[in-house]
Structure formats: C-alpha cells, structure tokens
C-alpha cells in the first residue's frame, strides 16, 4: 500500500478547512488528527504542518516572515517592514514576531528559505570577515 506523504496530508487538510467557520475548522482538525492516529502517521504532524503552511501560502499568496528582535517592534516599524518586504518580494507578508533577548540589537528575518541577518552580531561578523579576508 502506498504511503501518504506529508504534502498529501497537508493538501487534504487545506481542502477540509477551506471556507469553514472557526467552529467547523476545529471539528475538521479533530477528524484530521483522528485520521493521522488511525493511519499511524501522527508522528509526521510537524512535517505536515510545514507542508500545510507552504500550501496555504501558495494558495492565498500570503507569506509569513518570522522576525526575531531583541525587543518588540513598534507598530510603525512592523508596518514599514511589511511594506518593504512586500515591495521587494512581490508577495503579501504577514509578520510573526519573536523576541530573543540574546540579540544586542537589530533583527533577523526569515521568509521561506531566505534569511536576512540585520542583527548587530551579524553585522559585526560580516565586518570581521571583511577585515580577515582583506576585502
């Protein structure tokens, strides 16, 4: 019997919840989780979630930007960041903010496989590399 891939499960879940109310979505997710348990694929849930997010983004044109900063971004900073990223990438951007107190300042942005390191530590590492390499 052919194994169901995480991508297949993600597409199924998308169809199950598309256009549903919050209450209906909760019911559909419960059914979906029961299916995973029945098929003994519950351990694949993290990969399925990743694939679901990718599929959702492809279908809606909305892309999540994970922004990690030393302190919460101001509303104006978020707005400007969304506008700049949307303009440069040609995609609708949703910000998922994370706080990392280990950062001295600046921020890191991750969208899909793209990482933009605007942290002070990242800048210092790039400067060190230029000095060491003489460029």
Residue-wise pLDDT for 36-47, tens only, equals 999 999 999 999
| Sign of the C-alpha dihedral computed for residues 113, 118, 119 and 122 taken in this order | positive
DSSP 8-state class, residue 3: P
Residue boundaries of the structural domains of the chain = 6-58, 61-133
- The pLDDT, as a whole number, for residue 82 is 93
DSSP 8-state class, residue 101: T
Long-range contacts of residues 81-90, Cβ cutoff 8 Å, at least 24 apart: 81/109, 85/109, 85/111, 89/63
- The pLDDT, as a whole number, for residue 1 is 59
Which two structure tokens, joined as six digits, stand for 67?
């922004």
Put residue 98 in one of left, alpha, beta given phi > 0 → left and psi -120 to 50 → alpha.
beta
Q: What percent of the chain has pLDDT over 70?
A: 99
pTM comes to: 0.63
Please state which CATH class domain 61-133 belongs to.
alpha beta
pLDDT of 125 > 90? The answer is no
Closest to 65 (Cα-Cα) out of 110, 117, 107, 115: 110
Residues 6+ apart with CB under 8 A from 45: 36
Residue-wise pLDDT for 9-66, tens only, equals 999 999 999 999 999 999 999 999 999 999 999 999 999 998 998 898 888 888 889 9
* pLDDT, averaged across the chain: 90
Which two structure tokens, joined as six digits, stand for 6?
């995480």
* CB half-sphere exposure, 85, CA atoms < 13 A: 25
How distant is the alpha carbon of residue 11 from its chain centre? 17
Burial grade of 95 (CB within 10 A; 0-12, 13-18, 19 or more): middle
């Amino acid at each position: 019997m052919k194994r169901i891939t995480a991508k297949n499960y993600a597409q199924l879940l998308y169809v199950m919840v598309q256009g549903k109310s919050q209450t209906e979505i909760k019911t559909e997710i419960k059914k979906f989780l029961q299916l995973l348990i029945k098929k003994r694929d519950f351990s694949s849930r993290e990969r399925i979630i990743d694939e679901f997010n990718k599929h959702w983004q492809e279908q809606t044109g909305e892309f999540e930007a994970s922004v990690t900063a030393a302190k919460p971004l101001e509303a104006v900073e978020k707005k400007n960041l969304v506008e700049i990223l949307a303009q440069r990438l040609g995609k609708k951007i949703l910000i998922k903010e994370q706080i990392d107190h280990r950062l001295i300042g600046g921020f890191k942005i991750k969208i899909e496989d793209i990482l933009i390191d605007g942290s002070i530590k990242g800048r210092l590492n790039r400067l060190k590399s230029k000095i060491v390499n003489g460029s």
